[in-house]
Amino acid sequence: MKGLTPIFSAVLATAFTVKDNSDKAVSGAEITLIKENKSTTTDKDGKFTIHEDEVSPGDSISPGDSSEPLGLLANAAPGYISINSGILSFSQSGNSPVNVRIFDLMGNQVFKQSLYGSGQVDLTSGVKAKGTYFAQVAVGSAKQTIRFTSTSNYSATFGESSRALLKDVQKGEALRVVAEGFDTLTIPLGTLDTTLKIKLTAAANEQTYAFGYAIGNDPTPSKGCGKDNKLKDYFKFTGGGIEHEVYLDLPTNYDKNKPYRLVFGMHCMGGSAQNVAKNEHYYGYRDQKGAKESTIFVAPHGYTDNMPWRCGDNKDHLFFDEILTYLNDNLCVDTSRVFSSGFSFGAMYSNSLAQTFQHRLRGVVVFATADQVIYLPKNAGKPIAWMGTVGLSDGTCPPSMGRSARDRILKNNGPEGHTDCTGEKATEFSGGNHVCYDYKTVDPRFPVKWCTFSGGHQWDMRENGKLWASDIGWEFITQF
């Protein structure tokens, strides 16, 4: 019979495809066997082959036809070998054994046997898992590769698509996958099997900063991620030496492994945490589309009803620091997306926190804020995202005090070294509906929005039946 051209090569994973997390093929990815220092790239379908032809010196290559029955080089060693439905038949009259080795697609040897004389061997007897394998059949220096699968008809397969890395994997060998726009993936070959799907994760194209986060940054999970939730929707917490009532609303279908946005709702003088949580729905935020699924809401109660957030000392700042840590330790919080929002005294408290908690708060939204009757620490000099609303007819928290609170934020929110942006003048209400002004000279990561309207001391202003301040406030919070 005619001998067939030996096709044993060092080839890797032709049946493997590199895809992204949306199951799309990744073309142009560089695939490298690190220790072998052999590389290739994926084709348009995300498939790849790594090969190095191995023909032993002195081998005589006779022309062959892939449609012929499997045969080894006639002049390399006498004998006959064929495969039919996965059964390898052999007849060897010489002294050289027929050496059979079976490898998985990643080149791991799973079976080895030397055959003498005549007989048959079932190739599937050497494999334990379903999938595609390669058998190397060698007589002397002549070698032949056979590709087969343990789940369907077996067949001899020739050409590039049949080659496998038919050599012992070096200790510590690994496969590296590099593609533009994706995180580099390095896989120890020992972890691979014949059904592996290589998935690449899109790289985070975010710039890092000495302070603050990029817009659209990856979530930063808190210590509580992975823990089963044991917190109730109402509990008492002692912080700053004072016991507070706390209302908690977790996302529907809360996932302990998913970091969630956290929003505090701070109540006003004469108000309550219960009212913020149960009646006002956290200033209307929890009624926004997707809010119930994406956000943890918390409403703490102040020290007293009439002076809820103590003036003249920092006990409420200590309370905020301690309860935020407690929540981070017990729930899965995205620590880079924590916000405080409030009305009147709750707004003044949120604005007070914005002076020193820039490292823990991403931003605040304040309705009818002011500087009076509140503990106001010296600003730490760091930027923070800030949105404020004020009614130009507000006699309780005058617009001048709202502007003063805003300007303390603007002093730090410039793009170069947190520079002063108070020189930019905002457009304010002069008739018709409300007016919101977005400052142009601030660092985009620390936006400042200033909204004015014709009304008085309120947060639940309506236009065309909508709570416009709630809508705009939620858009502000969720832009990051």
Domain definitions of the chain by residue range: 18-200, 234-477
252-280: pLDDT as tens digits? 999 999 999 999 999 999 999 999 999 99
Find how far residue 251's CA is from the centre of its chain.
19
β-pair partners for 435: 452
CATH number belonging to domain 234-477: 3.40.50.1820
CA-CA distance, 347 to 370, in Å (whole number)?
Answer: 8
Residue with tokens 């030397």: 114
Q: Which of 342, 449, 448, 358 is nearest to 397 (CA)?
A: 342
What is the 8-class DSSP label of residue 94? S
Q: Give the strand pairing for 185-188 and 38-41.
A: unpaired
92-106: pLDDT as tens digits? 666 677 778 777 766
Asked whether the predicted pLDDT for residue 305 surpasses 80, the reply is no
Asked whether the predicted pLDDT for residue 197 surpasses 50, the reply is yes
pLDDT band at 191 (very low <50, low <70, confident <90, very high): very low
For the segment 177-205, the average pLDDT, to the nearest whole number, is 69
Tokens of 138: 């060698």
For the segment 349-358, the average pLDDT, to the nearest whole number, is 96
pTM: 0.61
Q: What is the pLDDT of residue 9?
A: 29
For the segment 119-147, the average pLDDT, to the nearest whole number, is 71
CA-CA distance, 269 to 77, in Å (whole number)?
Answer: 98
Asked whether the predicted pLDDT for residue 194 surpasses 80, the reply is no
Asked whether the predicted pLDDT for residue 6 surpasses 70, the reply is no
61-97: pLDDT as tens digits? 232 333 233 333 333 334 566 666 667 777 766 667 7
Asked whether the predicted pLDDT for residue 183 surpasses 60, the reply is yes
Q: Which of 400, 373, 374, 405 is nearest to 388 (CA)?
A: 405
Q: What is the pLDDT of residue 416?
A: 82
Q: What is the pLDDT of residue 285?
A: 98
390-446: pLDDT as tens digits? 999 999 999 999 999 999 999 999 998 889 999 999 999 999 999 999 999 999 999
100-128: pLDDT as tens digits? 877 776 666 777 778 777 777 777 666 66
For the segment 333-337, the average pLDDT, to the nearest whole number, is 97
**Across all residues in the chain, what is the average pLDDT?**
80
Asked whether the predicted pLDDT for residue 14 surpasses 80, the reply is no
**Is-contact 2 62, C-beta < 8 A?**
yes
Tokens of 47: 């498939």
Q: Which residue has the higher pLDDT, 247 or 197?
A: 247
293: helix, strand or coil: helix
Q: Which residue has the higher pLDDT, 190 or 281?
A: 281
**Within 13 A of 118's CA, how many CA atoms are on the CB side?**
5
Asked whether the predicted pLDDT for residue 51 surpasses 90, the reply is no
